[in-house]
Amino acid sequence: MGKAKEVIGYLSGPVDGPAVYAKWKAGEALDYFGTSYLSQFLTVVRDRGARPVIVTYNDQPDSRIEVDDAVFYNIRRFEYPGLGYHRDVIQRIRRSADVMIDEGAATVVMTESSPYWFAARKMGRRGTKLLPALHGQLWSTHRAKRLTHRILEWFNGRWFFRPFVRQTIVASDAIARQVEQITERLRPQPQVFLPTYDPAAFAAIPAPVRGPSEPFRILVAGRIEADKGVFDMIAAGQWMKRRGLDFEFHFCGEGTALAAAKHEAAEVDLSNQFVFHGFCKRDELITMFGRSHAVAVPTRSELEEGFAMIVAEAVLAGRPVVTSRVCPALAYVRPAAVEVPPDDVAAYAAAFERLMTDRDFYDAKVAATRQCQAQFYDPANSYGAKLAEALDALG
């Protein structure tokens, strides 16, 4: 009788795990644009000869599905208001810990536990090796830290990271600094991974060209939410319209603020300048990159942004990006970016105007995108590479 395979667990987010697995097994690209961390995890587990057990959290009923030697659990997430939301998150993490213990996971990669990492400490007490893979910051670094964050910081540091964590991978240096702050003695230091891409994904995107009678098109891709800055962009659009500028904002994505944003744009007579495309599949987003002249990432300071992959994708598409330090990705693409203060509508509008009217400045930013691209094409920087290194270190 052969030796049983090592079980490596993965706490994922609101994805369709079996669908991602099917695409990964067939070697096919996912429908959405960007890097797939779950696919990279599956590759790492396969290369180690291990068996994956994956827990996802979406709005579908609870389930357990076996595909080949992989096991997929879904624990239904509910959008309760107020304290109910936080209680649901903690309960899901605790149920996930029970799943991993029952499945005999030797190691669990945890991507979906913030800010309640301590709720998973049962696994650590049972001897499971815990490997947090943090995609978001633990708290906003651009606003005063609330009492609740200080309490959670204490619990996460004292009850989870310090006693049970020996390896951590993170999506940016900003997250690494926070982990070091709450752990004090975590060694080695958290390793940073970057979103990485196949150069072929961007090969069909032409260089930005603006005709004499063509509006300046600004692409905003991602969730349509207030904390993602959609209403700030509408306010900036009002300022730009008063200045007589010829522009269009194109939004690719869905979200809870989509209907309100459409209504707001219509109320201030910007329906012609604000176009909402909804969710854009891979080919559709490539087309939108090709038609755009710049990309805006106006995430507000109340959101604990971990990186913002769209910033990397903008420079890979050869487009300047307008954003603030709220997005840690800014530090990796600064030469190709126009930095504005967080939440500053007037500064966003002024940045767009300068890109539109100062040709030398715009051309310099476009040229600078090329010097920022190599890091996002380098497999050594990938999530999979850093994950494999961390698993090897855990033994």
List, for residues 126-152, the tens digit of each pLDDT value.
999 999 999 988 877 777 777 887 888
Q: Is residue 64 part of a domain?
A: yes
Q: What is the domain range of residue 32?
A: 7-196+378-394
Q: Is residue 1 part of a domain?
A: no
One domain for residues 186 and 268 = no
One domain for residues 64 and 114 = yes
One domain for residues 150 and 205 = no
Find tokens 């960007």 and name the residue: 34
Count up the domains in the chain and report the number. 2
pLDDT attached to residue 185: 61
Q: Count other Cβ atoms within 10 Å, centred on residue 11.
A: 26
Residues for the chain: how many in total?
A: 395
pLDDT attached to residue 186: 58
pLDDT attached to residue 139: 79
Hey, is 221 helix, strand or coil? strand
One domain for residues 383 and 277 = no
pLDDT attached to residue 212: 83
Find tokens 């150069």 and name the residue: 199
Mean pLDDT value across the chain: 93
* pTM for this model (two decimals): 0.91
Amino acid (1-letter code) at residue 368: A
CA 243 to CA 237: how far, in whole Å?
Answer: 10
One domain for residues 54 and 117 = yes
One domain for residues 210 and 356 = yes
CATH code assigned at 180: 3.40.50.2000
Q: CA 327 → CA 101, 135, 341, distances in Å?
A: 36, 12, 11
Q: Is residue 290 part of a domain?
A: yes
Give the pair of three-digit tokens for residue 380. Answer: 């050594």
pLDDT attached to residue 94: 95
CA 223 to CA 52: how far, in whole Å?
Answer: 29
CA 357 to CA 265: how far, in whole Å?
Answer: 24
Helices within 120-229 (DSSP H only):
121-125, 147-156, 162-164, 173-183
One domain for residues 281 and 192 = no
Which residues of the chain, if any, have pLDDT below 70?
1-2, 113, 185-188
| pLDDT per position as a tens digit, 40-50 | 999 999 999 99
One domain for residues 158 and 289 = no
pLDDT attached to residue 255: 95
Query: Roughly what angle, to the nearest 10 degrees, separates helices 37-47 and 383-394?
Result: 40
Q: In what order do the strands lie in the sheet with 274-276?
A: 274-276, 247-252, 216-221, 294-297, 321-323, 337-339
pLDDT attached to residue 254: 96
Q: How many CA atoms lie within 13 A of 293 on its CB side?
A: 20
Q: Is residue 232 part of a domain?
A: yes
